[in-house]
Chains A and B, each alone.
Chain A
């Protein structure tokens, strides 16, 4: 048959060595936590940090899968929506009501960003898309600074400042809360994608737009919903960052970089990978900071980048990535 080239994706994701490696890391962490109290505290704090990276990384992956672009404005969008929550609390809306209202507003904002800014350039080049997201980054940064100023702002503490003690180990209630909220939102999203008709249609639209359209899926709407959900995840990440970083226009910039590292570690196309990658980087950075003397907090970002570089050099498809194979 002439001119018949087939493109198939061969799954190499989550291969046996990767699963064994992750299992070994989990056992190591568990043993460490049982042996040392400080280790346990640092691990839980690392998981809480990592869960935030994971949320934002998952937002990046969602958009990468749907639109094949890295949304450089994802962190700034998260920061802006956190300011919206802040504004709501200024208007005496209670914290958790403001939290959920912000998620709704974020969804609409994400979908509108797709419809107004991304869709018109989507079928041009990747460079055009990247430039739009970088422009969006600058736009959001400017608007937020103009509206709320660049100084630190504070929101009510969502989880209080209590500390739990369990067998000599103390966990901050905030860390536990951040971990639970982030992981819960990831799980809810997974359920949506895996078990609902809407989720199925969204996956189809992202995988094969033409074929999806021909089975009756409105691909543009699905992509808009995808951008909306990514913005919701970003808002969760922003709101969960606020208790430790406080509000300022730069609050999500470093976190976006950690999220990049997490997404690449996970394989960039794999939602599960981005979550594992986020948690892994959070825990890794905290433990390195605790046990390696000269790895002070100034080196956290460079270490995250070293992880990113090593992954790109040794296993460009990441832990859960799928290698695209072209069969001719």
Chain B
């Protein structure tokens, strides 16, 4: 490697939002939001309630259509990809309120995630991979149980398993710490770092748990009312007066 680090050209961002705007009636959900997510990093997307974080996820996964702007993945626009094509590019996600298939077993929920991975043509290979992932997220013991009725923390892990089984390059986690207790949050922090370091997966994280975000993110991007108010390393963002203002005006506990 050349020693002159500052002359290395910047890596092509894995995901890039370019002046993405979206309005619902009179409400501007996203107002020219731009950010770049570099490969093999953890990118924290934060902001008070209603800031547009989940909207950004839905724009990236094509559930919503941007009014203007662009979404690039690996340098190519996603705007002509249907929602069912997003995972084929290597993007998987979890949902804030857990969108599992309640009557299916944990294993089946995970198998659904492997649906599009073409090298799993054989049912056996698919099942083996699903079992491996369930083991990885630590819920192999409940594989045969229906998802409905399991504890919330377990449901979140099933969603993670379903996302990981498709072998994504980018995973979008929507409030993975929501509803988890202190020990579970600690385990989650380690888990997300392992995704980046061991599996080389890029993580885009929406989270209200400030401590978690500031501790594990390589880069933090702050939205408020659909607009970017700060973007940078966690330490800088934490000191940003606009960020402090946004959070003190909203949730006091979140700034702790």
- Chain A interfacial positions (CB closer than 8 Å to B): 1-11, 197, 200-201, 203-204, 207-208, 210-219, 322
A216–B116 CB distance below 8 A: yes
Q: Return the contact of B112 from the options A6, A7, A9, A204 (Cβ within 8 A).
A: A204
Q: Is the CB of A214 within 8 A of B115?
A: no
Besides the contacts A10-B148, A216-B115, what 12 more A-B pairs have beta carbons closer than 8 Å?
A1-B178, A2-B251, A3-B49, A9-B103, A207-B104, A213-B82, A213-B84, A214-B63, A214-B84, A214-B87, A214-B93, A216-B166
Tell whether, in the assembled complex, residue B87 and residue A216 are in contact, meaning their CB atoms are under 8 Å apart: yes
Question: For chains A and B in complex, what number of residue pairs have CB atoms within 8 angstroms?
Answer: 96
Q: Is the CB of A1 within 8 A of B148?
A: no
The yes or no answer to B138 lying at the interface (CB within 8 A) is no
- Render B68-98 as a binary contact track against A, CB cut-off 8 A, 1 for contact: 0000000000000011111110001101111
Alpha-carbon gap, A217 to B251, bound state (A): 38
CB-CB < 8 A to B148: which residues of A? 8-11
**Shortest distance in angstroms between B85's beta carbon and chain A's nearest beta carbon?**
7
Chain A residues within an 8 Å CB radius of B116: 215-217
Q: Would A215 and B149 be within 8 Å (CB), given that A4-B97, A207-B102, A208-B101 are in contact?
A: no
Contacts of B86 in A (CB 8 A): 214, 216
Q: Assess whether B149 is in contact with A11, with CB atoms less than 8 Å apart.
A: yes
Most chain A Cβ neighbours within 10 Å, of B49, B61, B84, B152: B84
Give every chain A residue within 8 A of B82 (Cβ-Cβ). Answer: 213, 218
Q: Which residue of B lies closest to A215 (CB)?
A: B113
By beta carbon, the residue of chain A nearest B126 is A197
* Contact indicator A211/B99 (Cβ below 8 Å): yes
Q: With A1-B178, A210-B63, A214-B93 given, is the CB distance from A204 to B101 under 8 Å?
A: yes
Chain A residue at smallest Cβ distance from B177: A1
Instruction: State which size class the interface on B falls in.
Output: 35 or more
Q: Are A216 and B84 in contact (CB under 8 A)?
A: yes
Interface membership of B123, Cβ < 8 A: yes
Q: Chain A contact residues: over half helix, strand or loop, or mixed?
A: mixed
Chain A residues within 8 Å of B84, by CB: 213-214, 216-219
Residues of B within 8 A of A7 (CB): 97
Tell me how far the C-beta of A318 lies from the nearest C-beta in chain B, rounded to whole angstroms.
15
- Given the complex, which residues of A lie within 8 Å of B92, measured CB to CB? 214-215
Looking across the interface, which residue of chain A has its beta carbon closest to that of B87?
A216
> A203 contacts which chain B residues (CB < 8 A)?
101, 103-104
Known pairs A8-B102, A215-B116, A216-B115; A200 contacts B108 (CB<8 A)? yes
Please pick, from B61, B97, B115, the residue contacting A200 in the complex, using a CB distance under 8 A: B115
Q: Which residues of A contact B108 (CB under 8 A)?
A: 200
- Minimum Cβ distance to chain A for residue B52 (Å): 14
B166 touches A210 (CB 8 A): no
| Minimum CB distance partner of A324 in chain B | B102
- Is B146 in the interface zone, CB < 8 Å from A? yes
Cα distance A3–B96 when bound, in Å?
11
Q: Which 6 A-B pairs have the closest CB atoms?
A: A216-B116, A211-B99, A213-B83, A216-B87, A9-B102, A207-B101
Give 20 A-B contacts (CB < 8 Å), ordered by A residue.
A1-B208, A2-B49, A4-B179, A11-B103, A11-B149, A200-B115, A201-B115, A204-B104, A207-B102, A210-B83, A212-B101, A213-B63, A215-B115, A216-B84, A216-B86, A216-B87, A217-B84, A217-B116, A218-B82, A219-B84
- A200 and B112 contacting across the interface, CB-CB below 8 Å: yes
Residues of B within 8 A of A204 (CB): 101, 104, 112, 115
